[in-house]
Structure formats: C-alpha cells, structure tokens
Amino acid sequence: MRVVAVLAGIAVLAAAPVRADPAPADGRLDWPLRPRPAVVRTFDAPAAKWQRGHRGVDLAAAPGQPVYAGQAGTVVFAGVLAGRPLVSIAHDGGLRTSYEPVAPSVWSGQRVGAGTPIGEVVAGHAGCAAPSCLHWGAMWGPASRADYVDPLGLLTSTPVRLLPLR
C-alpha cells in the first residue's frame, strides 16, 4: 500500500507545472507580471461592500504580455464574464485571485503552480491610465460574500511588520 502511495505522489510531482523561480515559502503572492510592473491605480475598498470602489489594483502591461499565477491554486473560472476575459484562481486557505482582461491559456478545474503562465493581457481595460493594464484582485471567501483585500499587501516583497502587544 505504501508503494502505491509513493508512486502516486511521484506521479503528481512529475505532472506539476515547472516554475522559473521558487514558490513563496510563506504562502504569500508573487507578482503576476514580469518584470515587476508599475502600479497605475491602487486598491480603493468601498466603505460598504455594495458601494463603488476599486477592488484590486491596475498594473501597467503590454497587450500580449504573459500573466502568471500569483500563488499555486485551482482555476475556478477562465473565460468571458460581463464582456471581459478573465481568470480566477482559488488558493489554499480561502484566498481567491482574479486577473483581467486576460485571454486564458488555462481551463476551469486546472491546478496551477505559483508562477505558471495563465494567459496573456488583452488591450481594453476601461479606466486604465496606461496603454494597457492588468486588473489584479484578491478576496477572502466565496464571491457572494467576499472580503476584498489589496493584493499588494500580500506580496512576498512586502515586509511584514508586527506591532508589540501592550
């Protein structure tokens, strides 16, 4: 029985996507564009979930530029939603990231590794101050009751600062 489990584990590892760089060891996110992009528009959470706001960040990009998974996970949507092509990935621990406008190269149900190419940026993101942008969002929980968070605060390059207990 142990031999079967070991062989199954080897098969899973052999089928895993190959990364160009190491996965974040602490479960934090990696940049979805290479090289590190400029932030064109920052996260602006609404005071109440139903109000207007910017539930993600816009990153300067070029049409056709590859987009990479910010963390390992399972693709939960890859296609067109409300007229926009996008990819959404569910990660362990309840985090979900979204990438738009992206022509997907992955499919729903596919497991991806951190840094795996998931598609290419498509021109036409409304409100983008650059020639082209990638809108990158992050949320905890299911979409129906999501708590949106700033993906920039989840990056491996963002230092973690803890305040002393009083």
pLDDT (tens, 9 = 90+) of the chain, 166 residues, equals 433 333 333 333 333 333 333 344 456 899 999 999 999 987 777 665 555 555 688 899 999 999 999 999 999 999 999 899 999 999 998 999 999 999 999 999 999 999 999 999 998 777 777 778 999 998 887 767 778 888 888 887 655 556 677 6
Contacts of 54 (CB under 8 A, 6+ apart): 41, 42, 43, 44
Please answer whether residues 139 and 146 qualify as being in contact, where contact means their C-beta atoms are separated by less than 8 angstroms: yes
Q: How far apart are CA 154 and CA 30, in angstroms?
A: 8
Please answer whether residues 73 and 92 qualify as being in contact, where contact means their C-beta atoms are separated by less than 8 angstroms: yes
**Which domains does the chain carry?**
21-154 (2.70.70.10)
